[in-house]
Structure 1
Amino acid sequence: MSSFTNLLITYFRDYNIWFLSILIMLGSVGIPTGACLIVLASGAFAYAGEFNIVVLFLQIWFFSCIGDIISYILWKLLGHKFLNKSLRLRTYFHPKIIKAQDYLEKHGKGTVFFTRFLISAMGPFVNAAAGIVEYKLVTFTLFIALGDLLWSCMYLGLGYWFGDSWESIVPIVTQVAEFFTCITILVISIYFFIKTIRSNKKNVNTK
């Protein structure tokens, strides 16, 4: 592990869940904090008896949900103000916002759910998109709660399961997360590429 990760673990052991909650919430708005690895480590510390695993799980789940909701609200309140500051920005992003709105209306539930745990690197981007297009907060909250539940179980459970050997699985967990992120980006790119081609064909046929 890097010296930065070791430093985060030291702070976590000193300040417990309050420090971890800050890492989790900052990660929800797109700041890379290494929260996943600290949650993994916290599971191992719970195995060693330093924390109550049930209480720790509930705390991590709670702050994960709060972080995602805060991210959503921030983008909902500030996103349009930011874009409206510049005509160039508004012109550039407006078609993309319309596409994001259409996509979330059709696939929003699954997208919000799976970007909590399976492809968590995409989570902050989905939070931003959902906030800007004003996706239904009740639906958003429900599916982040379900997704964050699995995220908390997965990382905390892995740390608890491997106990003192938790550091040995860090490279595997990191590589798996990167793999799923790359596959998702590829699938989304192919989806929009095919959709664009079909749209162009329809426009040609209607002329």
Structure 2
Amino acid sequence: MNQVIIEYLRIYNVWLLGVLLLIQCIGIPTGGTLLVIASGAFAYAGEFNIFILFIEVWIFLCIGDVIAYMLWNLIGHKILNKYPKLRIYVKPKILKGHKYLEKHGKGAVFYTRFLISPMGPFINAAAGITEYKLSHFAVFAALGELFWACMYLGLGYWFGDSWENIIPIITQISRIFVYIIILIIILYFFIKILKEK
């Protein structure tokens, strides 16, 4: 399957990559990370200009994050307005999420772009639903995506012809980060419950 997508990338160039990155920002896994690494390797081989590719990838990621924010903002409120019982149940959680994002939103948006990128779509959704300030979201998402684009394009470019060998390592590292974050969240709530009791 990955080989087919890579062949399509060679045929349709950056437009396929851009569409897949936009969809990935919404939260649908598309293999965009793999394609960005592959694109970096193709740039090493002379198929793409690495600087133009970097700008294109970065712009698509920034647009994708803003679209995801706006989509969740629109859909979240429509669903809550349509189902009043759900709104009553969720409203305290939305207020809590809003307070959290007001306090830690810049860091949460920034670090979930590249360091713990599997959490990025969840932060996009939370920021949209809680109406976190769009200007702050867009700026820190753009800064984080700058690191993401540098990191993954750079890996592909650096490893060149042997770029496929690093894919399993990157996948494992991403999973480990997600597991660590989940463990920290569980420990946080566990300690909080113990303190309340």
TM-score range, shorter chain: over 0.9
State how many pairs are aligned. Answer: 197
Counterpart of 2:31 in structure 1: which amino acid? G
Is residue 154 of structure 2 the alignment partner of residue 179 of structure 1?
Answer: no
Rounded Cα–Cα distance in structure 2 between residues aligned with 1:172 and 1:73: 33
Corresponding position of 1:99 = 96
1:50 corresponds to which of 44, 47, 51: 47
Once the two structures are superposed, residues 72-124 of structure 1 have per-residue CA deviations (whole angstroms, 9 ceiling, x without a partner) of 01111221111222233223322221221111111111100010011111111
Q: How many Å apart are 1:33 and its aligned residue?
A: 0.2
Q: Unaligned regions of 5+ residues in structure 1, if any?
A: 202-207
Is residue 130 of structure 2 the alignment partner of residue 116 of structure 1?
Answer: no
Corresponding position of 1:36 = 33
Corresponding position of 1:133 = 130
Q: How many Å apart are 1:197 and its aligned residue?
A: 4.2
2:146 corresponds to which of 145, 149, 153: 149
Is residue 61 of structure 2 the alignment partner of residue 64 of structure 1?
Answer: yes
Is residue 78 of structure 2 the alignment partner of residue 78 of structure 1?
Answer: no
Q: How many Å apart are 1:35 and its aligned residue?
A: 0.2
TM-score (norm 1): 0.91
Rounded Cα–Cα distance in structure 1 between residues aligned with 2:85 and 2:164: 47
TM-score (norm 2): 0.96
- SS of aligned partner of 1:84: helix
Q: Unaligned regions of 5+ residues in structure 2, if any?
A: none
Rounded Cα–Cα distance in structure 2 between residues aligned with 1:193 and 1:108: 23
Rounded Cα–Cα distance in structure 2 between residues aligned with 1:107 and 1:189: 18
Counterpart of 2:59 in structure 1: which amino acid? F
**How many percent identity over aligned positions?**
62
Is residue 66 of structure 2 the alignment partner of residue 88 of structure 1?
Answer: no
In our comparison, the structure showing a higher alpha carbon Rg is 1
Q: How many Å apart are 1:196 and its aligned residue?
A: 4.3
Is residue 12 of structure 2 the alignment partner of residue 6 of structure 1?
Answer: no
Give the CA RMSD over aligned residues: 1.2
Rounded Cα–Cα distance in structure 2 between residues aligned with 1:195 and 1:19: 46
Rounded Cα–Cα distance in structure 2 between residues aligned with 1:34 and 1:95: 35
Corresponding position of 1:164 = 161
Counterpart of 1:141 in structure 2: which amino acid? A
Once the two structures are superposed, residues 9-60 of structure 1 have per-residue CA deviations (whole angstroms, 9 ceiling, x without a partner) of 1111110110000100000111010000000000000000000000000000
Counterpart of 2:95 in structure 1: which amino acid? I
